[in-house]
A and B are shown apart, each in its own frame.
Chain A
Amino acid sequence: MGLPCGTHNYTYAQDMAIMRTKTHWALLIALLVLVFTAPLYWGDYWLSVANLIGITLIAAIGLNILLGYCGQLSIGHAGFIAVGAYTAAVLTNRLELPFLVGLIGAGLMAGFIGLFFGISSLKVKGFYLCIATIAAQFIIIWVINHLEITGGFVGIAVPYASIAGFTFKSEASLFYLIMVITVMCIFFAKNLARTRIGRAFVAIRDNDLAAEVMGINLFYYKLLAFFIGCFLAGIAGSLLAHWIGFMNTEQFSLMESILYIGMIIIGGLGTALGPILGVIFIRLLQQGMMFVAPTIEAALPALPAGFATGIAPMLFGAIIVLFLILEPRGLAHRWMLFKAAYRLWPFSY
């Protein structure tokens, strides 16, 4: 850990603290103030991008707990988000329950579905588990498409979120809702990694047999990882449903699941900072491609007709491969290197 010169810790609590110096605190508060005053100087467009980033981030944090900390590869994350989104939609639209009930219900539902598919992780791992989660993705989407209560292929409308009479209609109000939940999730994930549970997850990731021998209950902790990961996916799904206002299953394809894995790989597996960087990187790149691709297409008529839609997946695929080869520890590791270099500058060590 890069601490400024002259900072000494005298107690264990000091050593383990997340915020260790006054500068840390000042920077954190400045960041939070910056984020929560953003609606004052950002337009609706950038707020909607920020909302998308926030929602994606919640789901990515869930996946990071599952994959980055516990090492259980899930390629069905978009499916679990879909479970959350549709549970929220059904609870608030069909049953007309309040938003918060829908939110928690979505998380629990996604968590329990995740538990069911996670049971296979007890017997198998690696490739087998990732096949099981691909199967989960397809089965979930198929069931949603054919249930009557979810609106099937037609889709389902979702009412605005509202808490105690206040309705979140505008992008700015939703921004506050989403950001509060996102910040809570980041805080939760950061702290989870430092508890017994987080350490058990890491032990299972590094070698599950050794972890079992050390007395870690694999059954309990693997399923707990699935539950937490999918619970957060469900929360993200619920927010997504209320934010978009209309759900159909096209938004939850296998490709989206792969993109989530790509995000946390690009950011850095098993770090608290990783998902944040990865999600911002990918979502901003997506927005950028939406602007750039049509411009390039207009400028170069010789390009094939699929350029605008095809270039983005090609780019994302290439980026995932390149990151795995060149920087498997992700952007978070680069950030640590930068911090270390900055702290020591102008000396090399």
Chain B
Amino acid sequence: MAEFLQYLITGVTVGMVYALIGLSFVLIWKSSGVANLALGGLILIFSWFTYSMVVQAGLPYWLGLPLVIVFAMAMGWLIERFALRPLIAQPILSLITVTLGIFYFLEGLAVFIWPWMVDALPPVFPPEPFRIGPAVVAQAYVWAAVISLVLFGLLTLYFRYHKMGIAMRATADDQFAVQACGIPVTSIFSTSWMFACVVAAIAGVLISWIGGLHFGLVETGLKAFSIVVLGGLDSFIGAMVAGPIIGLAENIGGGYLTPFLWGGLKDIIPFIIIIIVLFIKPYGLFGEVRIERI
């Protein structure tokens, strides 16, 4: 029972961070219809950039983290301005492959600057763990989940009440109507990219507080796709619900099935879920079913 509770809590808390990565994907998909496959590379770059700021440059966290956020915004703006904007109105194939090219570039960049590939961020949370019943949970997990929830709440409020957020939702709904209303669609696109990169950066920092810095962060970013596929590509709620589900499936499945199957099962479960979801319910739990016309 203690074991189960342990898996449960770890799964849900890690799942919240995954949900944040999924959220970053949904932000871009909703506003501009671009599938951001570079997410794994972005998470990798932002986490290592945090390392550069905090460890290599020796800045304290209160100064380093804002710098990371500024860097993430700059990155989002650059990617949108120079890679995505020239491709507006191109077929979806080009939009997907251009993010693959960016992914390739970012992975090379990470090897280029940080070739030793494994490290850790200095801890921010006290080392003694929380005890919830018989389960023992490191503080980093709990705080990561709390920060994710807060961020999710803020984003929801932003999209509901802020003028820019409403404009972004409107863009997702109908680009032509939005243009007719005088909202600059291109600046909406670059704002959504900046937002998405900031969310990805925060998720990257949280996940590297939990698991350390390594090139597996790319796969963590890729796991986010199982979240968006399960939750539905265009649904914030979907990402928030699917994140913990994937986290749970990963931890409980990995924990109980590994003795019967092979090691490393934990890392492959999200991908198996993708295949199952695509076979059974391709548009996810909360996704909008697209009906096409010729």
Selected contact of B278 from candidates A123, A309, A324, CB within 8 Å: A123
Interface centre among B83, B103, B104, B275 (most CB of A within 10 A): B104
**Who on chain A is nearest to B106 by CB?**
A317
**Who on chain B is nearest to A208 by CB?**
B292
Q: Indicate if the CB atoms of A207 and B294 lie closer than 8 Å.
A: yes
Q: Indicate if the CB atoms of A209 and B83 lie closer than 8 Å.
A: no
Interface residue count for A (Cβ, 8 Å)? 54
Q: Indicate if the CB atoms of B292 and A313 lie closer than 8 Å.
A: no
The CA of A306 and the CA of B267, in the complex, are separated in Å by: 27
Q: Indicate if the CB atoms of B98 and A324 lie closer than 8 Å.
A: yes
The CA of A134 and the CA of B229, in the complex, are separated in Å by: 13
Q: Indicate if the CB atoms of A71 and B93 lie closer than 8 Å.
A: yes
**Who on chain B is nearest to A258 by CB?**
B100
Q: Indicate if the CB atoms of A306 and B100 lie closer than 8 Å.
A: no
Q: Indicate if the CB atoms of B83 and A142 lie closer than 8 Å.
A: no
Selected contact of A128 from candidates B105, B108, B222, B282, CB within 8 Å: B282
CB distance from B146 to the nearest CB of A (A): 29
A75-B100, A126-B92, A306-B115 are known contacts. Are A313 and B278 too (CB-CB below 8 A)?
Answer: no
The CA of A128 and the CA of B96, in the complex, are separated in Å by: 11
Does any Cβ of B come within 8 Å of A135's Cβ?
yes
The CA of A176 and the CA of B222, in the complex, are separated in Å by: 40
The CA of A139 and the CA of B222, in the complex, are separated in Å by: 13
CB distance from B77 to the nearest CB of A (A): 16
Selected contact of A117 from candidates B102, B108, B275, CB within 8 Å: B275
Interface residue count for B (Cβ, 8 Å)? 49
CB distance from A203 to the nearest CB of B (A): 12
Q: Indicate if the CB atoms of B104 and A262 lie closer than 8 Å.
A: yes
Does any Cβ of B come within 8 Å of A261's Cβ?
yes
Contacts of A20 in B (CB 8 A): none
Contacts of A315 in B (CB 8 A): 108
**Who on chain B is nearest to A139 by CB?**
B271
A134-B222, A261-B97 are known contacts. Are A307 and B112 too (CB-CB below 8 A)?
Answer: yes
Q: Indicate if the CB atoms of B263 and A146 lie closer than 8 Å.
A: yes
**Who on chain A is nearest to B105 by CB?**
A317
- Name B79-126 residues within 8 Å CB distance of A: 83, 86-87, 90, 92-94, 96-98, 100-115
Contacts of A126 in B (CB 8 A): 35, 92-93, 96
Does any Cβ of B come within 8 Å of A318's Cβ?
yes
A73-B93, A320-B104, A325-B83 are known contacts. Are A146 and B98 too (CB-CB below 8 A)?
Answer: no
Selected contact of B294 from candidates A213, A305, A310, CB within 8 Å: A213
Q: Indicate if the CB atoms of B87 and A306 lie closer than 8 Å.
A: no
The CA of A313 and the CA of B102, in the complex, are separated in Å by: 10
12 A-B interface contacts by CB (under 8 A): A71-B93, A127-B233, A134-B271, A142-B268, A207-B294, A261-B100, A306-B115, A310-B115, A313-B108, A317-B108, A320-B100, A325-B98
